[in-house]
Amino acid sequence: GAVVSQHPSRVICKSGTSVKIECRSLDFQATTMFWYRQFPKKSLMLMATSNEGSKATYEQGVEKDKFLINHASLTLSTLTVTSAHPEDSSFYICSASDAIVGAQTQYFGPGTRLLVL
């Protein structure tokens, strides 16, 4: 149980284009989803928290107009990197918490590696 998927697993795009990453909870309803960014050999940096049907809450220093987050249903959240630039290249990981099991536990997706050329 508590499986989270991400799509795509890796993507390469040209500078200036937008990229959408999907995060799905496969066997539970996720009232809250989180988006993280991880640099090589570094820990996870929380970018934003999203609740279904509400606007995402962004962490300090994260540009909300650049990293658009939508959480339209209890099983799907999307992160769109708009006008991507090489410095946006990173490993993006989502997680979801199960309102029934307990909001305190996050289950992580496998991550999406983004390379912007």
Partner 1 sequence: AQSVTQPDIHITVSEGASLELRCNYSYGATPYLFWYVQSPGQGLQLLLKYFSGDTLVQGIKGFEAEFKRSQSSFNLRKPSVHWSDAAEYFCAVGHTGTASKLTFGTGTRLQVTL
Interface contacts to partner 1, rule CB under 8 A: 4, 6, 32, 34, 42-44, 46, 49, 51, 91, 93, 95, 97, 103-111, 113
Report CA dihedral (42, 31, 3, 101) to the nearest 10 degrees: 100
Half-sphere exposure of 31 (CA within 13 A, CB side): 8
Least distance from C-beta 86 to partner 1, angstroms?
Answer: 20
Least distance from C-beta 83 to partner 1, angstroms?
Answer: 26
Least distance from C-beta 47 to partner 1, angstroms?
Answer: 11
- Based on CB atoms, which residue is closest to partner 1, 88 or 98? 98
Query: Distance between CA 112 and CA 23 in Å, rounded?
Result: 10
DSSP 8-state assignment for residue 103: E
